[in-house]
Amino acid sequence: GAGVSQSPSNKVTEKGKDVELRCDPISGHTALYWYRQSLGQGLEFLIYFQGNSAPDKSGLPSDRFSAERTGGSVSTLTIQRTQQEDSAVYLCASSSKFYNEQFFGPGTRLTVL
């Protein structure tokens, strides 16, 4: 079956612009996660959606970052007024439920000039 997909695969933007990153989870997975991976670093948790519950936003680094999940499926991560330190690979994962294995997409490589 289809895995987690993300788009775009690469995004180059200028400092100060807004960007939107998209994630399509595995069909039927109720939990969806966003992580960020900076060069030479492990994955940093950003936000987590589980069904209709309020999302866990504890990892979002600033109020420039937001995410939504429409219809319990597709999710969009939005970064407003991008900064150079936002340059990283943004990874999305999904799981069938809380505590279960998380399956990752290929990531979106964001470069802020």
Residue 98 touching another protein (CB under 8 A): yes
- For position 75 contacting another protein by CB under 8 A, the verdict is no
Check binding of 31 to another protein (CB under 8 A): yes
Binding part of the chain for another protein, among 11-19, 21-29, 45-53, 66-74 by CB under 8 A, reads 45-53
Per-residue tokens: 71: 């219809």
C-alpha torsion angle, residues 94, 96, 98, 104 (rounded to 10): -20
105 binds another protein (CB under 8 A): yes
Helix or strand holding residue 64 (H, E): none
Among 6, 32, 3, CA closest to 96: 32
Q: How far is the CB of 94 from another protein (least distance, A)?
A: 10
**CB of 82 or CB of 90, closer to another protein:** 90
Strands 5-7 and 75-79: unpaired
In this chain, which of 1, 28, 42, 71 binds another protein, going by CB under 8 A?
Answer: 42
Q: Are 79 and 87 within 8 A, CB to CB?
A: no
Residue 40 is a binding residue for another protein (CB under 8 A): yes
Q: Which of these, 86, 92, 41, 43, lies nearest to 64 by C-alpha position? A: 86
Binding site for another protein (CB under 8 A): 4, 31, 33, 35, 40-45, 48, 50, 56, 58-59, 91, 95, 98-107, 109
